Amino acid sequence: MASVAFLGLGVMGYPMAGHLKNKGGHDVTVYNRTRAKAEQWVTKHGGSLAATPAQAAEGKDFVFSCVGNDDDLRSVTTGPEGAFKAMKKGSVFIDNTTASAEVARELAEAARSSGFSFLDAPVSGGQAGAENGVLTVMVGGDQAAFDSARPIIDAYARMVGLMGPVGAGQLTKMINQITIAGLVQGLAEGIHFGKKAGLDIEKVIEVISKGAAGSWQMENRHKTMNAGKYDFGFAVDWMRKDLGICLAEADRNGASLPVTALVDQFYKDVQAMGGKRWDTSSLLARLEK
């Protein structure tokens, strides 16, 4: 059993922290910006509640975070009451936020200078993956820190991989989001085309999903897309945030992402339609408006 803190109890962090407590059997202290959410978590799972990130991190072997963006991450780490002020030497900070590779490197240097380790460890699998404890975790950092943290991370993960030095986890997550954006747009166009052609979409998917066109998105989203229901996963607002990170990194490294840039604009259209909290498969709604 390890002494663990978890900062950020959103739709992902709440169940992830629960798996650390219940499946992992660890001693977990939680912090959330909205205190009521942390109180709810402690009532459900046990463990302890902290008033600040620093209080949560004090004396812990491992500290996890899963917050909204780079600024939120800086706030809970190096902010006035941030966790980095209380991290003990030899401990490990594991960040599950989807953020920039730049902020990962910045925080890793701050951690190193204070005698503890930092891993950027964004996740894929959405809310369902978090709730079921089957997330994919893409990690950047030192081998020794990864080896010590992996048994703890396993409580909420199906796949955990060390992708390279600090920042490599975030870069891998960018590839994940780039790939998903293209897949969902292709699926949306295919379903849209099939409807216009008068085909039975269920019959079409039953056949093509067993061939080269098959994908997780097709298997798990075609029914709800065909029914015009878009409340089953990762929100458009968050996808636009992630694609913005991808496009900014591409500007830095010289990568060409024409399809990603185009799909990002399509998601902007979905936001304008009132779909900010719809899931990413709502690209079909844009085609059908």
**Contact status, residue 177 vs residue 246, Cβ threshold 8 Å:** yes
DSSP string, 146-192: HHHHHHHHGGGEEEEEEEESTTHHHHHHHHHHHHHHHHHHHHHHHHH
Q: How far apart are CA 10 and CA 32, in angstroms?
A: 8
Cα distance between residue 19 and residue 233, in whole Å: 20
d(C-alpha 230, C-alpha 67), whole Å: 23
The catalytic site residues sit at 173
Closest CA to 279 of 202, 244, 227: 227
| E-state strands within the chain | 3-7, 27-31, 48-49, 62-65, 92-95, 117-120, 123-124, 135-140, 157-164
Distance CA 230, CA 27 (A): 37
CA distance 177 to 193: 24
